[in-house]
Amino acid sequence: MTYRFSTPALPLIVLTDLDGTLLDHHSYSFAAAEPALNRLRRAGVPLVIVTSKTRAEVARLADRLESPHPYVLENGALIALPPGYFGEDGGALIRLSPAYEELCAWAARIRREKGYRFRGFADMDAAAVAAATGLSEEDAALAKARDGSEPFIWEDTPEALQAFSADVEARGWRLMQGGRFYHLLGRTDKAYAAEQLLSHYRELPGEPLRSIALGDSPNDLPLLQIADIAVVIRRHDGSWMDAQVNGRKIQTEGIGPVGWNEAVGSILTELESTHV
């Protein structure tokens, strides 16, 4: 089944993180965001998932969200374009990071050589990943099906983490801190990948689309900084990420998907009242 992008009723594109943002931190449910999601669907506004999750995880979630739009995977390591979306004959997986096997081989070598203490997904079976994430074993297996980034739990000192970060930089790669894990990947991030995707939308005729980006963790900050409207989602502990952004900023009162629904609904109402 193919879906060809067409100009939405409102000139908007939504770029959203998942865990702790659109999905509840504990239950991974997006039920609280359904009112705003339904409004996006009716208006044909693209919902672009920008996440640390894998292709296997997001493909299944996108079906539940009834979202036929592209998505950015593994913190910007890959972009998945659905078949025919921008007029191409087939879907495409755009790689912006080294292959998973290369990342893991390097991480294992540097750990042996320097004695760092950390555990990556490559070191864990599905049961261990499930225990670390709160996912079911079935979902943990999907989380382990990685293409271009390695999440890991740091079990060493802050000083050792600084040294490891310097090793990653020297390799020309990037280390990111997410909500639960650190992530090793190539010289990319959510913002870089999102910009590559947005360039496709900008080439299309019609009114330019304003961008909303929503996130709750430090690895979302670059994404929020490229958006016209940055939405900082309140976290499950009641705090907000400290975010300095270039455009308009909204901090939600609601936590996770409750805040997501609050912010997106408010922006849609505002846009509907001004857009002719």
> Which tens digit of pLDDT belongs to each residue from 106-136?
999 999 999 999 999 999 999 999 999 888 9
- CATH code of 17's domain: 3.40.50.1000
Give residue 90's pLDDT.
62
Give residue 136's pLDDT.
92
17 is catalytic: yes
Pairing status of strand 47-50 against strand 92-95: unpaired
Please state, in angstroms and rounded to a whole number, the distance separating the CA atoms of residues 249 and 225.
10
Confidence category of residue 30, pLDDT binned at 50, 70, 90? very high
> Who's near 175: CB < 8 A, 6+ residues apart?
164, 165, 168, 169, 182, 183, 184
Give residue 204's pLDDT.
86
Q: What is the CA radius of gyration of the chain?
A: 19
- Same domain, yes or no, for 81 and 201? yes
- Same domain, yes or no, for 193 and 87? yes
- Same domain, yes or no, for 84 and 198? yes
Give residue 48's pLDDT.
98
Look at phi and psi of residue 234 and say left if phi exceeds 0, alpha if psi is from -120 to 50, else beta.
Answer: beta
Identify the domain containing residue 23 by its residue range: 12-95+189-274
Residue 276 has pLDDT above 60, yes or no: no
Q: How many Cβ atoms from other residues are within 10 Å of residue 175's Cβ?
A: 18
Domain boundary among 185, 201, 230: 185
Confidence category of residue 257, pLDDT binned at 50, 70, 90? very high
Please state, in angstroms and rounded to a whole number, the distance separating the CA atoms of residues 264 and 17.
13
Catalytic pick from 17, 19, 24, 220?
17
Residue 3 is assigned to a structural domain of this protein: no
Short-list 27, 256, 13, CA closest to 134: 27
Please state, in angstroms and rounded to a whole number, the distance separating the CA atoms of residues 276 and 272.
8
Number of domains composing the chain = 2
Phi, psi dihedrals of residue 183, rounded to the nearest 5°: -135, 130
Residue 28 is assigned to a structural domain of this protein: yes
Give residue 269's pLDDT.
96
Residue 22 is assigned to a structural domain of this protein: yes
Please state, in angstroms and rounded to a whole number, the distance separating the CA atoms of residues 187 and 175.
9
- Partnered with residue 61 across adjacent β-strands are none
Contact indicator for 50, 194 with CB cutoff of 8 Å? yes
Short-list 268, 266, 269, 271, CA closest to 252: 266
- Length of the chain (residues): 276
Please state, in angstroms and rounded to a whole number, the distance separating the CA atoms of residues 144 and 54.
8
Give residue 260's pLDDT.
98
With H, G, I as helix, E, B as strand and everything else as coil, classify residue 154: strand
Q: At residue 70, what is the residue type?
A: P
Residue 7 is assigned to a structural domain of this protein: no
Give residue 66's pLDDT.
93
- Same domain, yes or no, for 233 and 125? no
Short-list 194, 223, 225, 162, CA closest to 77: 194
Q: What does the pLDDT average to over 141-147?
A: 96
Give residue 1's pLDDT.
62
Cα dist from 74 to 151, 157, 253, 269, whole Å? 9, 26, 28, 32
Confidence category of residue 36, pLDDT binned at 50, 70, 90? very high
Contact indicator for 96, 136 with CB cutoff of 8 Å? no
- CATH code of 133's domain: 3.30.980.20
Please state, in angstroms and rounded to a whole number, the distance separating the CA atoms of residues 52 and 58.
10
pLDDT in tens, 189-216: 999 999 999 999 998 888 899 999 999 9
Give residue 178's pLDDT.
74
Is the entire prediction scored with pTM above 0.85? yes
Would you give the end-to-end CA distance of the chain in angstroms?
33
